[in-house]
């Protein structure tokens, strides 16, 4: 059943490519006519191609923005007016750039950035992240599986280690650390956690290679030490170490199964994870989308992989009846607001239903399709 859905997604993407090519060709041919010299025809052809692609991009962005009320954190992906920035390019700083500036509040007084405290989200899922980046802890009965390690050791101690203690989970070891992708705000605290626990660090095999090759130039002084892949040469797999996983591979830890999907787009080997969460005795399926932003400029080929990943995950969400959507930045998936609502009681706001999970991937698909069309016709 899942294979059928994924195949349908692949066929859909192929048809989209044919559709775009035909539209471009149609727009180009419409500029040719009797009495028009070759130079004028070429200019008109280019204008029509550009005009047609802009319209297609705008239409796709509009389709994505239909879901902006549910996922406002994704709306920036649909902004085709602002050029995509390549974050690997280091920009010159002004003389005053090292001065820390706090945002003024409405009362004109300055306040620090908001942080989110540790919190139980489901019977077996806990938020132990910061205000701008997430870390999720899954209690498997026998140990804790951690998804992402924040920016550095200081954050890992403050939010993850101290957070687990505040939640009463410090009596259980962290057995696995899943790193969704090779940016330091997700791996930076791994060195501390690795010293404290004999754990296994997991990334996609492709991402391990990308990280070892320099991660496309992405770096920050704020980020902690990057993990290094060490191939296990022992006949029997020993505890700890590193693991590179491939698409659709699974691991069983305690009472939970984690299924990994390689979803390139944010980075070449971004890892998205499906697992079970328990709410008042009822089991729900959760998907954690491993990377959201387009931060490498107008690279059409990379954006296309993002579009394909989103389309595939949309089909997976439908096939698996996934009803919980998570990401690794609280403001992206709305976890910050959901955590605040959860404190007030009532129905669990993280159980959004299959339609809403589908809408998340539909928005990601259409927004990045708009960016792909724009990048393909500069």
Query: pLDDT tens digit string along 215-232?
Result: 988 889 999 999 999 876
Say if residue 272 is in the same domain as residue 194: yes
Average pLDDT of the residues of the chain:
85
d(CA 147, CA 339): 18
pLDDT of 149 over the 80 cut: yes
Instruction: Report if residue 315 sits inside a domain.
Output: yes
Residue 75 pLDDT exceeds 50:
yes
259 in the same domain as 170: yes
Instruction: Spell out where the chain has E strands.
Output: 119-120, 125-127, 136-139, 144-147, 174-178, 200-204, 241-245, 250-253, 256-262, 271-279, 282-288, 324-326
Distance separating alpha carbons of residues 185 and 197, to the nearest angstrom: 20
Check if the beta carbon of residue 351 is closer than 8 Å to that of residue 279.
yes
234 and 372 co-located in one domain: yes
DSSP state for residue 160 in the 8-state scheme: I
Q: Of 47, 68, 89, which residue sits at a domain end?
A: 68
109 in a structural domain: no
Tens of pLDDT, residues 150-203: 999 999 999 999 999 999 999 999 999 999 999 999 999 999 999 999 999 999
Q: Is the pLDDT of residue 283 over 60?
A: yes
Give the predicted TM-score (pTM) of the model: 0.82
Look at residue 73 and tell me if it is in a domain: no
Provide the residue range defining the domain that includes 284: 134-376
Residue with tokens 């009822």, as numbered in its chain? 282
Q: Are residues 217 and 366 in the same domain?
A: yes
335: left (phi over 0), alpha (psi -120 to 50) or beta: alpha
**Does 350 share its domain with 203?**
yes
């Amino acid at each position: 059943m899942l294979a059928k859905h994924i195949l349908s997604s692949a066929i859909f993407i192929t048809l989209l490519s044919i559709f775009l090519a035909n539209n471009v060709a149609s727009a180009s041919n419409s500029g040719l006519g009797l009495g028009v010299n070759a130079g004028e025809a070429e200019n008109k052809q280019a204008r029509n191609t550009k005009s047609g692609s802009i319209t297609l991009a705008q239409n796709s962005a509009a389709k994505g923005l239909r879901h902006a009320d549910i996922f406002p954190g994704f709306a920036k992906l649909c902004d085709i007016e602002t050029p995509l920035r390549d974050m690997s390019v280091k920009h010159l700083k002004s003389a005053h750039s090292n001065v820390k500036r706090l945002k003024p509040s409405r009362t004109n007084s300055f306040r620090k950035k908001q942080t989110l405290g540790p919190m139980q989200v489901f019977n077996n899922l806990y938020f132990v992240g910061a205000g701008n980046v997430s870390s999720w802890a899954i209690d498997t009965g026998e140990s804790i599986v951690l998804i992402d390690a924040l920016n550095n050791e200081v954050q890992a101690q403050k939010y993850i280690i101290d957070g687990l203690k505040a939640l009463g989970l410090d009596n259980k070891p962290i057995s696995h650390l899943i790193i969704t992708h090779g940016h330091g705000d997700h791996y930076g605290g791994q060195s501390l956690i690795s010293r404290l626990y004999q754990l296994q660090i997991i990334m996609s095999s492709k991402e391990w290679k990308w990280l070892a090759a320099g991660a496309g130039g992405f770096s920050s002084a704020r980020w902690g030490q990057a993990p290094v892949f060490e191939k296990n040469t022992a006949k029997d797999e020993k505890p700890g170490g590193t693991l590179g996983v491939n698409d659709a591979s699974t691991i069983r830890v305690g009472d939970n199964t984690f299924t990994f999907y390689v979803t390139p787009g944010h980075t070449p080997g971004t890892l998205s994870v499906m697992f079970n969460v328990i709410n008042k005795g009822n089991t729900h399926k959760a998907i954690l989308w491993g990377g959201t932003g387009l931060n490498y400029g107008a690279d059409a080929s990379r954006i296309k992989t993002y579009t394909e990943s989103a389309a595939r995950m949309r089909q997976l969400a439908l096939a698996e009846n996934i009803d919980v959507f998570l990401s690794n930045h609280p403001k992206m998936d709305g976890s910050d607001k959901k955590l605040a609502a959860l404190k007030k009681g009532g129905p669990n706001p993280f159980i959004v239903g299959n339609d809403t999970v589908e809408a998340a991937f539909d928005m990601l698909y259409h927004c990045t399709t708009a960016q792909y069309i724009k990048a393909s016709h500069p």
